[in-house]
Amino acid sequence: MKNGLHYAYPNPSSTTPGGMTYRQYLASCLAPVMLTNFLSNDAWQDYDDLASTLMMAVDAIIEAEQESAK
């Protein structure tokens, strides 16, 4: 796992030619949980804050997996 651009699923999608990347897959798994929390409390200021937190979480997961694979 060198970066978050390897494919999680081989199924073709309309957004990427080879299917969903692992980074996209992680974001799609975390987004519903984070959005529910966004709507139910004041954890984030706005949607931009929520989106940056989501991508930081995804990047942290990928980085932790890379470190544990070494």
pLDDT at 35 over 70: yes
- How does the average pLDDT of the chain come out, rounded? 78
Q: Which two tokens stand for residue 49?
A: 């804050």
Q: What is the pLDDT of residue 14?
A: 54
Q: What is the pLDDT of residues 5-30, one digit of tens each?
A: 655 555 555 555 556 778 888 898 89
The pLDDT of 40-45, averaged and rounded, is 81
Residue type, 11: N
For residues 33 and 42, what is the distance between their CA atoms, to the nearest angstrom?
A: 14
pLDDT at 33 over 50: yes
Domain ranges of the chain: 1-70
Q: What is the pLDDT of residue 61?
A: 92
